[in-house]
Amino acid sequence: MARRVSTRRRVIVTAIAWAVAFLIFFPILWTFLTSFKTEGEAVATPPHFLFFNWTLENYIEVNERSDYFLHFMNSVVISVGSTVLGLIIAIPAAWSMAFVPGKRTKDVLMWMLSTKMLPPVGVLIPIFLLFKNTGLMDTRTGLVIILTLIDLPIIVWMLYTYFKEIPGEILEAARMDGAGLREEVIHILTPMAIPGIASTLLLNVILAWNEAFWTLNLTAANAAPLTAFIASYSSPEGLFYAKLSAASMMAIAPILILGWFSQKQLVRGLTFGAVK
Amino acid sequence: MKFRALAGACVLGLTASGAMAETTITVATVNNGDMIRMQGLMDDFYAAHPDIKVNWVTMEENVLRQKVTTDVATKAGQYDVMTIGTYEVPIWGKQGWLVALDDLPDSYDVNDLLPAIRSGLTVDDHLYALPFYGESSFTMYRKDLMEKAGLTMPEDPTWADIEKAAAAMTDKEAGIYGICLRGKAGWGENMAFLSAMDNSMGGRWFDMDWNPQFNTPEWKNTLTTYLNLMNEYGPPGASSNGFNENLALFQQGKCGMWMDATVAASFVTNPKDSKVADQVGFAMAPHKDGVAKNGNWLWAWTLAIPAGTQKEDAAKTFIEWATSKEYTALVASKEGWANVPPGTRTSLYENPDYTSAAPFADLTLKSINAADPKSPSVQDVPYTGVQFVAIPEFQAIGTAVGQQFSAALAGQITADQALQNAQSLTEREMKKAGYIK
């Protein structure tokens, strides 16, 4: 018999859920509102919530001052490029670890994850010098490579846990029917793992889109993505919150929309995958 | 014959394309009003120099500092022009990281640069950067509140005058605080103010043997006066206030006085953002009675060329244009005299158009001239810099000391503890760096 939930309890739980959701969403809402204020209103005390002179001047100024499209395209190329490259490397790796584990597979997995525990700034200087000497500085190629390497452990871990969910017997049955390795991976494994691969892809595009340490440090004028676009609107002397908010909204809008449409996959990826 | 004609045409073509070749220079810069304005006025530069294209990379101050430092130290060559401050220029110049600018054309009129600013950018008689905009600090106060309290602000106030005015103007119930000062920790935040304030109390950062001076009566006087002013008459939560937070408070009419960068004057007198635009008066930064140094700092954002750039000539052409009298005139004609980058040239302050458009011009110039980076204190010092010490170790030390003083302002430790911690941590770092044997 299903548990009976009283109406009162349901109302309370729903109210709490909405309150928590609002709390989490509030910074984005506030950024959104601030982006339509003047600089003076953005810092007014007490703050104005909805009743102020809504203006588009910040968006106009940001568009005049910066090349949004260049930064946007850089973000797209870098985040999609690094994720696809990462998947190409990670799918075979995760397959072998999930279905033909060796004696040290667990150790290899742990070692891969341990690379994420090092603070990135610890390897900034060596990577910076490597980039400088190989001509990768301020290029999209360079950023695709570095972000692939940075996110690879997460991609492998997520795929590994998805593949583990697939019963090995199905693959065995396929082999009994005469399927080779190629057929096995393409016709049996991949279709079953598509939801997992899709959520890995989405999550990593988001991670790469938001990555701000390497993208800020290894770019100048040509390959700078939207993170650098936002950073350029912070000012040491003079009010900047409204313009910064407008720039932030323009930078997060594409990924917010992508996240909105794919939230079902994303939630599955987050609760089911490696980052449980 | 045909072949020869073809070869000739090729040579001609090559020469022509060589002459037309465009040099692209990349300029790393900070996000402030004057720099952004220049990006909008580049058509004038392109008209005069069609062979040079300028790529801008605008960054937040801390990001800029980190990126240009890494770039210049590893000779990565990503930037052909860097926007750096008066803190970096002497250090980098000495390291040989910057191109010396000794062969400026006569038309540039290098002798027109303000002596205090020029001296901060000169190492061993070589000029290493051209100043784009310069600032000092001074006192901004509310004329209406002073009048209500029955007081007048002297042009050159002492700390005692300031305390008296702060007490008279404070009305916490009405949300008006007598004084707003920087409290946020950082070498360029609260320590810029407190180092300059210590100069005005007769103190200094180091003696001639590089021993830190936080155990002297001058520093104790500085910190206790500051804490007393802020605790009694300052706004709540001041330990997280920097320039922008205080600017917002002052513009909203919450502060009686504010001692900060002279560049703030144009913001607080702008009626678009400031509620108190027509009520702001200006005075020098305060000093202790009997000490001949005021608590005002000296800072300039400058344009410098990293040594080893392949495009030195184009970079020089650009920075000479950006810091020239012609550029000032261009801004004035397009955006008005109140918007020209201040604080770099004597001629600007002799221009009646400017002085009438900027009522704070006179005191800005006086403040800049009153700051001497080579001799910031009444006592002798072994370093260059008014509100900083131009040694590579200072950023880390200054910020660590700033954290102690910010903690004292937040009430987490006492003034004595903060000074003691500052003394021991500075001593440790200076020994490690080899200044103290």
pLDDT given for residue B1 in this prediction: 47
Structure tokens at A248: 């932030």
pLDDT given for residue A276 in this prediction: 37
Q: Specify the residue for token string 């100043």.
A: B131
Q: What is the CATH number of the domain that holds B50?
A: 3.40.190.10
CA distance A182 to chain B (A): 46
Whether residue B308 is found in the same domain as residue B421: no
pLDDT given for residue A2 in this prediction: 58
Q: Residue A146: enclosing H or E segment and its boundaries? A: helix A140-165
Structure tokens at B271: 């009626």
User: Does any CB of chain A come closer than 8 Å to the CB of residue B192?
Assistant: no
CA distance B56 to chain A (A): 7
B343, pLDDT greater than 60:
yes
Subunit contact A239:B76, Cβ cutoff 8 A: no
> Does a structural domain hold residue B418?
yes
Q: Provide the residue type at A77 as one letter.
A: V
Subunit contact A220:B56, Cβ cutoff 8 A: no
User: Does any CB of chain B come closer than 8 Å to the CB of residue A52?
Assistant: no
pLDDT in tens, B384-411: 999 999 999 999 999 999 999 999 999 9
pLDDT in tens, B279-304: 999 999 999 999 999 999 999 999 99
Cα–chain-centroid distance for residue A131? 24
Number of domains chain B contains: 2
Cβ neighbors of B351 (< 8 A, separation 6 or more) are: B337
Whether residue B273 is found in the same domain as residue B345: no
Question: Is-contact B405 B194, C-beta < 8 A?
Answer: yes
B157, pLDDT greater than 50:
yes
> Does a structural domain hold residue B198?
yes
Nearest to B31 among A39, A128, A234 (CB): A234
Give the CA angle between residues B368, B371, B377 to the nearest 5°: 170
pLDDT given for residue B16 in this prediction: 45
pLDDT given for residue A270 in this prediction: 63
Cβ neighbors of A80 (< 8 A, separation 6 or more) are: A205
B333, pLDDT greater than 80:
yes
B10, pLDDT greater than 60:
no
User: Does any CB of chain B come closer than 8 Å to the CB of residue A139?
Assistant: no
pLDDT given for residue A191 in this prediction: 81
Nearest CA in chain A to B65: A217
Whether residue B143 is found in the same domain as residue B129: no
Q: In chain A, positions 113-132, which contact chain B (CB-CB < 8 Å)?
A: 124-125, 128-129, 132
Whether residue B191 is found in the same domain as residue B292: yes
On chain B, the residues whose CB falls within 8 A of the CB of A129 are 74
Whether residue B115 is found in the same domain as residue B195: no
Whether residue B108 is found in the same domain as residue B146: no
| CA gap A203, A196 in Å, rounded | 11
3-state secondary structure of B131: strand
Nearest CA in chain B to A212: B63
> Does a structural domain hold residue B10?
no
Max intra-chain CA distance, chain B: 97
pLDDT given for residue A273 in this prediction: 44
Which of B39, B60, B339 to substitute to test the interface with A, most A CBs within 10 Å? B60
| CA gap A251, A210 in Å, rounded | 9
What would the mean pLDDT of B49-77 be, rounded to a whole number? 89
Nearest to A128 among B32, B74, B264 (CB): B74
Whether residue B239 is found in the same domain as residue B257: yes
Whether residue B65 is found in the same domain as residue B179: no
On chain B, the residues whose CB falls within 8 A of the CB of A224 are 57
Whether residue B289 is found in the same domain as residue B242: yes
| CA gap A89, A94 in Å, rounded | 9
User: Does any CB of chain B come closer than 8 Å to the CB of residue A39?
Assistant: yes
Structure tokens at B375: 């001799």
Whether residue B145 is found in the same domain as residue B276: yes
Nearest CA in chain B to A213: B63
| CA gap B35, B29 in Å, rounded | 7
> Does a structural domain hold residue B368?
no
pLDDT in tens, B78-106: 999 999 999 999 999 999 999 999 999 99
| CA gap B157, B310 in Å, rounded | 51
Q: How crowded is the C-beta side of B248, counted as CA atoms within 13 Å? A: 19
What would the mean pLDDT of B259-273 be, rounded to a whole number? 88
Q: In chain B, positions 256-295, which contact chain A (CB-CB < 8 Å)?
A: 261, 263-264, 267, 272-274
B11, pLDDT greater than 70:
no
CA distance B280 to chain A (A): 17
On chain B, the residues whose CB falls within 8 A of the CB of A238 are 32-33, 244, 247, 267
Residues of chain A below pLDDT 50: 273-276
Say whether the peptide bond before residue A27 is cis (omega within 30 degrees of 0).
no
Which of B26, B37, B41, B58 to substitute to test the interface with A, most A CBs within 10 Å? B58
| CA gap B197, B223 in Å, rounded | 9
pLDDT band at residue B36 under the 50/70/90 scheme: confident
Question: Is-contact B42 B49, C-beta < 8 A?
Answer: no
Question: Is-contact B143 B280, C-beta < 8 A?
Answer: yes
On chain A, the residues whose CB falls within 8 A of the CB of B272 are 38, 40
> Does a structural domain hold residue B3?
no
B178, pLDDT greater than 90:
yes
| CA gap A201, A81 in Å, rounded | 11
Q: Which domain holds residue B27?
A: 21-135+299-357
CA separation, residue B99 to residues A220, A255, B82 (Å): 21, 43, 11
pLDDT given for residue B2 in this prediction: 52
User: Does any CB of chain B come closer than 8 Å to the CB of residue A150?
Assistant: no
What would the mean pLDDT of B20-47 be, rounded to a whole number? 89
Cβ neighbors of A75 (< 8 A, separation 6 or more) are: A209, A225, A226, A227, A251, A254
> Does a structural domain hold residue B367?
no
CATH number, domain A62-272 = 1.10.3720.10
What would the mean pLDDT of B228-233 be, rounded to a whole number? 96
Whether residue B252 is found in the same domain as residue B229: yes
Whether residue B309 is found in the same domain as residue B289: no
Q: Give me the residue spans of the domains in chain A.
A: 7-59, 62-272
One DSSP character per residue, B155-184 reads SS-BHHHHHHHHHHH-BGGGTBEEEE---S
